[in-house]
Amino acid sequence: MGGPLFRGLFFTGTDTGVGKTFVASAVGRWLREQGRTVRVCKPVATGAAWVDGRRLSDDAQRLAEAVGQTDELDAITPWAFPEPVAPPVAARLHRTMLTLPSLVAAVRKQAPPGGILLVEGVGGLLCPLTEGETVADLVAELRLPLVIVARRSLGTLNHTLMTVEVALSRGLAVAGVVINETEPARDLAAQTNADELRRRLAVPLLAVVPHHVEAPSAALAGVSAVDWWETARERGVDEAWKP
């Protein structure tokens, strides 16, 4: 599809409810505290609420608050549907159609000159996005480094390794994995899966975000050890980028 390249990161999850919005917001907040120009985009959302005469995504609001972009919610998420289903299903219910070119254009429009754009997908990497494409196809067109967010619980090893394998098999640039503690790590699986992933992953385990109860300070502590600005550049969003 082509188009200009820009500095950015794309956040996906190993499943729904793993906290990719929380992690992406924390990264945005951290970059902003470092004095970077940062913007966010979640091009399509489902399960949006009706607020003040329009559909608003809770995820989009959280992302916007993290980077001070709260007056641009319609641009952050141009397609917001009320039904909590896959995007093409929701689009059909509303007699519209999502296309990959329109989604790519909406994301690129948000990229700040000289800054960084944080993009959040919907569902996991192979979640249907249009009638024929998935989130992975959007990542490929945008040519952004992928940050994979996983929950710290039983099943994380399988879900994370499968997601990484799919991403690499499609030639996507994977910046790494972030484990997010959506609940306290009480059982043995949760306590050991980070170390086991370090042994098995073909990509970096970037961070483990401690259980936070929606506390931004805890998330910042989890992501602050990573230089996210350099992580975006290292994965090739310049002229030397190759899949």
Sequence ranges of the domains in the chain: 8-234
Phi/psi of residue 119, each to 5°?
Answer: -115, 135
Which string of DSSP letters, residue by residue, matches 143-174? T--EEEEEESSTTHHHHHHHHHHHHHHTT--E
Q: Alpha-carbon distance 100 to 128, whole Å? A: 11
3 state SS of 178? strand
174's tokens = 């994977």
74's tokens = 């319609």
Q: Work out the angle at residue 166's Cα, subtended by the Cα atoms of residues 232 and 127, and round it to the nearest 5 degrees.
A: 90
Residue type, 221: A
Q: Alpha-carbon distance 77 to 90, whole Å? A: 15
Q: Alpha-carbon distance 107 to 26, whole Å? A: 20
Options 3.40.50.80, 1.10.1060.10, 3.40.50.300, 1.10.10.1100; CATH of 8-234: 3.40.50.300
Helix 188-200 / helix 156-169 crossing angle, nearest 10 deg: 30
Catalytic residues: 42
Phi/psi of residue 237, each to 5°?
Answer: -85, 15
Walk along the chain (243 residues) and give the pLDDT tens digit of each residue: 455 578 999 999 998 889 899 999 999 999 999 999 999 999 999 999 988 778 889 999 999 999 999 999 999 999 999 999 999 999 999 999 999 999 999 999 999 999 999 999 998 999 999 999 999 999 999 999 999 999 887 778 999 999 999 999 999 999 999 998 877 666 676 677 888 889 999 999 999 888 765 555 666 777 888 999 999 875 444 443 333
Helix (H) or strand (E) holding 26: helix 20-33
Give the DSSP letter of residue 242: -
Q: Work out the angle at residue 1's Cα, subtended by the Cα atoms of residues 161 and 28, and round it to the nearest 5 degrees.
A: 55
Residues 80-138: tens digit of each pLDDT? 999 999 999 999 999 999 999 999 999 999 999 999 999 999 989 999 999 999 999 99
